[in-house]
Amino acid sequence: ESHMSTAVRVYSFLEDTARNCPGESVLVVCHGGICRIIESYFHDMTNEEYSAAGIKNCELVEYRFE
């Protein structure tokens, strides 16, 4: 799967989750590459920022749909 295809799949998942689970808390457990894509969904990032983005093992990051 290409990186772009993965991003489309993750973005679709996030949009489906926002639509189907309004006001609910949802726990997503995934690998670092998917975490980077999720970060890019919620924040505008340059290519350099995207490349440098990362998450530590077992780190918890909270995002909110507005």
Q: Is the model's pTM score more than 0.85?
A: yes
Structure tokens at 9: 């799949």
Structure tokens at 34: 């998917």
Would you state the pLDDT for residue 66? 82
Would you state the pLDDT for residue 19? 97
- Tell me how many degrees the CA angle 64-5-1 measures, rounded to the nearest 5: 125
Judge contact between 34 and 61, C-beta under 8 A.
Answer: no
Tens place of pLDDT per residue across the chain (66 aa): 999 999 999 999 999 999 999 999 999 999 999 999 999 999 999 999 999 998 999 999 999 998
CA 51 to CA 15: how far, in whole Å? Answer: 23
Would you state the pLDDT for residue 41? 97
Judge contact between 55 and 35, C-beta under 8 A.
Answer: yes
Helix, coil or strand: residue 11: helix
